[in-house]
Amino acid sequence: MQIIADFVRILELKRYSPQTINSYKGHLNMVSSYFKERPFKSISDKELFEFIYYLVNTKKISASYQRQIVGGLKLFYKEIYNRSIPFEYLKVTQREKKLPPVLSKREVLKIIDNTNNLKHRAILSLIYSAGLRIGELLELRKADIDSERMLIHIKGAKGKKDRHTILSENVLQLLREYYRQYKPKEYLFEGQKGGKYSAESAGQLFKRAVKKAQIKKPVTLHSLRHSFATHLLEQGIGITHIQKLLGHNNIKTTLIYTHIADESIQKIKSPLD
């Protein structure tokens, strides 16, 4: 749809991250499908409210996803039609305080072991071993893997900030084997027809591996990043180091892992003992 393409160009000019652009594009396609491809301009504020209500109460979307959709629609209507949508009443006033699901080290290895395809195994291993967001992994190029310093250069990550994270010795060997077999041209991980590997495909391969590994936890691909941070904390790595590896602007975001890490809890003695 041309109007969505126009909005994407505006976001690109404003230097939004590829992940954010893809998210907003997906949200608009979902709105278009819901309203049977009616012109966006003809959709009333009340109808947009009913759409969000449907997502919250029928589709049971999370509070964070609700915030993303509301923010994306508000920006779209402002940029394309100079129309202010009174979305204040749709904003989530309180953040959910649910802890993210985390895999044990054994479960992570089980998932990777149940991934037979070399490319798929390299993708999952790299995400977990370096604590990457899926968008960061898909933007990687061969030059971003620094085997001399054993670091991975993440460029233009969330917040438009570059950072370095750690490169595993085991994953480096796996990447070399993968590179020899697949010979990617531009991106480190590419689709069958070239170009960037898709986030949807990565999510699907993770689901298949989880099912094959018979893991019942409600985990997603992003759970590998949560697991990376939690396992580092359990190893005794300082929270500020973990913050830098993850690329969090605010340490409060990183501190959530102190509520998850079993090792830190296990060190606390019961008053009865």
Q: Point out the residues that are catalytic.
A: 133, 158, 222, 225, 248, 257
> Are 66 and 56 spatial neighbours (Cβ–Cβ below 8 Å)?
yes
Residue 262 vs residues 106, 184, 194, 199, 259: alpha-carbon distances, Å? 14, 39, 42, 30, 8
Beta bridge partners of 152: 145, 165
Strands laid side by side in the 163-166 sheet = 145-146, 151-154, 163-166
